[in-house]
Amino acid sequence: MPSSDGSLLAAVGLERSFGHIRVLRGIDLRVGPGDALVVVGPNGAGKTTLLRVLAGLTRPSAGEVWVLGKRLDRSTPETRRPIGFVSHQSMLYDDLTIAENISLAARLYGLADPRAKAARALESAGLAERGSARPRQLSRGLLQRAAIARALVHEPRLLLLDEPFTGLDAPAAERLRELLQERKQRGLGLLLVSHHLDEAWNLATHVAVLGGGRWLLDEAKNGPLAEFIPRYRALAHG
Amino acid sequence: MADGLRLALVIAAKDVRAELRSKTALLSATVFAALVLVIFNFARDPTALSATDLAPSALWVTFAFAAMVAMNRSFTVEREHGALDGLLLAPVPRGALFTGKMLANLAFVAAVEAVALPLFILFFNVDLSRALPGIIGTAALATVGFVAVGTIFGAMAVRTRFAELMLPVLLLPFMVPPLIGAVQVTSRLLAARPLSEMMGWLRLLAVYDVVFVTLAALAFSFVVEE
Amino acid sequence: MTGLSGAAPVVTLTRARAVVRRGIIISSIALIGIGVAAILALGFTPIEARQGLAQKIFYLHVPSAWSALLAFSLVGIAGGLYLWLEDPRLDLFAAASAEVGVAFAAVMLTTGPIWAKPIWGTWWTWDARLTLTLFLFFLFVGYLALRAAVHDRHERARFSAVVGIMGLLLVPFIHLSVYLFRTLHPQPIVLKPSAPSLPWEMLRTLLVSTVMFTLLYIGYVTIRYGIGLAIDAREQSDAG
């Protein structure tokens, strides 16, 4: 029962159509504290849509999303509070500094002393000296860090990430992995959509393959990436 | 309730701060207003149409078009980098989001009007000494109405390819009642007519404001959420 | 209810065709009825004292303005219902009503000046009916332009509904503005008589004409709605 099983995120029977195209056809999932669910699948499989539905940005045509035992409901904004979301876009305003962007987020979540919280978030992200920079002035890797700092400033219980490793060089990817690993160990639940299985594999506790709007596979990670890849190929192309 | 207002002010402050840095909307709207006023002046025959006859219409047409230029940017900034999602993810009620956007738009349009009005006095050589408080009050009353509609339509227009064209096409019919009212009141103010002659129009402006601010605030969530 | 939110079409192609056929029948009856009304107007209705034979266009103009207003009101009401019930048929209906309404408004706005110029000497008069129809025309155009510019069906339906409702609430304000304007600026020429105290024969002809125009509106909307259903069914079979 999603309202009492201690999960951070649970979804039951999610469906979503755009026009006549059914993008999600009956998705269930569950993410608990310290879980990292990595969702993979071919392009157009509905991964971004799934993430947006789970974050409450897109309404499902059918099904429900439960966050910390409460049903995600548009008329109750507070149900969104435990969610953090990192999109493939930065969600930052070009005309505000990084620090201002993050303290804006802190204010939107009603946090006390937003500027201090933002400063702390920047420090943990290793961006303390770049706080007065504008988003345009940052590299992709640094921008990613800023976006994640923004997503984490309100200390969500759950972090949803859409293709976080795209465009990152090896050191940046490693840094991201360390950050997520550390948070995961502290109880943050993660759901990552990623093409880059090699980057995300070590982080994962569960793997799921989305194809044609359905789960083709949904299981706990139980082996090295090398064993998984042929199975994934067979599923994705079968 | 208080929390909603606080969030609205946070959002409005964010918009104002960002616009004060980039200045694109403010500058283009102000320059536009000045140009329109100049053209009105040159395009009339001074022997046929006195300045005071033309003045109210010139002022309000200028305000209306400059306001549309100013309001266009409100949602284009949200579209870059998907920032609107950031606002929608947070536990911000949609009414507060609308109010914040509307307050920022009001600030921008008021700023443009504040620059256009002195230019208007200058170009048209009108004596506003007695009428000024009345004109400012009327401007506030009329502006609130069409800014509310402009805010919600701006949120829709930004999702289309020619947003700068779509906003005027949608908004202009809605600007007509406040504009007619404002022009009628302004011309009576300039002619120092008694207040009783303006009451009908002022009431129209007030009712329009109440109806459309409420309607826009209620309808906003349908526009901004998927 | 599937369609916009699900995978199945709103109705099948066969049923859509049946709707279109029904619309054609209704429209044909209405067109005949309008012909009858025209005959009534020309042959069986007294000539108005002041304006003469030219006044007869009144029996065509008033009902077409009425049809445009009816069309727009239904666009707004259907939009409101769509936001509440999320039935895609309501959105298809609203779109059909808008297209039919803009046609009625356009006909009224073009025949008006063409007729007015030789009779009154001016192309345009800012009388209440003409002004309101002009505004309806602009609102329709804006509505249809928005629909054309938004590609996602859910979004298009939602946006259209909001614009429709807001437009519908604008109409009383337009009317009020024109009324206030005209009480302060009485027109020098007496224009088309729209006083309620019409003699019985004139009222009768007007009523017949109005009913027939309303029927024509219903017929045309049914056709357009049926076409909308057919397009939906076709898109479904393409996607599925």
Given the candidates 3.40.50.300, 3.40.640.10, 3.90.780.10, 3.40.50.1820, the CATH classification of the domain at A1-82+188-238 is: 3.40.50.300
Q: Which candidate, B150, B128, B126, places its Cα nearest to that of B63?
A: B150
Average pLDDT value over all residues in chain A: 90
Partners of residue C9 in chain A, C-beta under 8 Å: 20
| pLDDT grade for A1, boundaries at 50, 70 and 90 | low
Partners of residue C238 in chain A, C-beta under 8 Å: 20
Distance from CA of B218 to the nearest CA of A (A): 13
Q: What is the ipTM of this complex?
A: 0.92
pLDDT at B206: 97
- Taking any CB pair shorter than 8 Å as contact, residues of chain B touching chain A are 3, 6-7, 10-11, 14, 17-19, 21-22, 77, 80-83, 85-93, 221, 225-226
**Residue contact C161–B222, C-beta within 8 A:** yes
**Residue contact A17–C5, C-beta within 8 A:** yes
Q: What is the crossing angle of helices B132-157 and B51-79, to 10°?
A: 40
Q: Does A153 touch chain B (CB under 8 A)?
A: no
Q: Is the CB of residue C114 less than 8 Å from the CB of residue C69?
A: no
Q: Which candidate, C62, C64, C92, C97, places its Cα nearest to that of C168?
A: C97
Backbone angles phi, psi at C163, to 5 degrees: -65, -40
**Whole-number Å distance between alpha carbons of B225 and B220:** 9
Least confident of A221-235, B110-124, C21-35: A221-235
A6-12: average pLDDT: 90
Which has more pLDDT, A238 or B10? Answer: B10
The Cβ of residue C71 has, within 10 Å, a number of other Cβ atoms equal to 25
Q: What burial class does residue C160 get, using C-beta atoms within 10 Å of its C-beta: 0-12 exposed, 13-18 middle, 19+ buried?
A: buried
Which residue in B10, B77, B221 is closest to A107 by CB distance?
A: B10
**Residue contact B172–C138, C-beta within 8 A:** yes
Q: What burial class does residue A182 get, using C-beta atoms within 10 Å of its C-beta: 0-12 exposed, 13-18 middle, 19+ buried?
A: exposed
**Whole-number Å distance between alpha carbons of A90 and A135:** 9
Backbone angles phi, psi at A75, to 5 degrees: -80, -5
**Which chains does A contact via 3+ CB–CB distances below 8 A?**
B, C
**Whole-number Å distance between alpha carbons of A47 and A192:** 10
pLDDT at B203: 94
Q: Is the CB of residue B54 less than 8 Å from the CB of residue B44?
A: yes
Q: Which of B193, B222, B223 to mutate to test the interface with C (most CBs of C within 10 A)?
A: B222
Which residue in C135, C138, C165 is closest to B219 by CB distance?
A: C165
A187-208: average pLDDT: 90
Q: What is the mean pLDDT of each run of 10 residues along chain B (226 residues)?
A: 90 96 91 92 76 85 92 91 94 96 96 93 84 92 96 95 92 95 92 88 96 96 92
pLDDT for residue A237 is more than 60 = yes
Segment (H or E) for B86: helix B83-89
**Whole-number Å distance between alpha carbons of B17 and B23:** 10
Instruction: Summarize pLDDT for A130-165 with one digit per residue, the tens.
Output: 999 999 999 988 999 999 999 999 999 999 999 999
- Taking any CB pair shorter than 8 Å as contact, residues of chain C touching chain A are 4-7, 9, 152-154, 235-236, 238-240
Q: Does A224 touch chain B (CB under 8 A)?
A: no
The pLDDT > 90 percentage for chain A reads 65
Average pLDDT value over all residues in chain C: 84
**Whole-number Å distance between alpha carbons of A89 and B25:** 24
pLDDT at A225: 87
Q: How many helices (H) and strands (E) does chain A have?
A: 7, 10
pLDDT for residue A209 is more than 70 = yes
Cα distances (angstroms) measured from residue C167 to each of A20, B65, B164, C31:
29, 20, 20, 29
pLDDT for residue C51 is more than 80 = no
| pLDDT grade for C213, boundaries at 50, 70 and 90 | very high
Q: How far is CA A202 from the centre of its chain?
A: 16
**Whole-number Å distance between alpha carbons of A191 and A86:** 10
The pLDDT > 90 percentage for chain C reads 47
For chain B, domain boundaries: 2-224
Q: Is A211 helix (H, G, I), strand (E, B) or coil?
A: strand
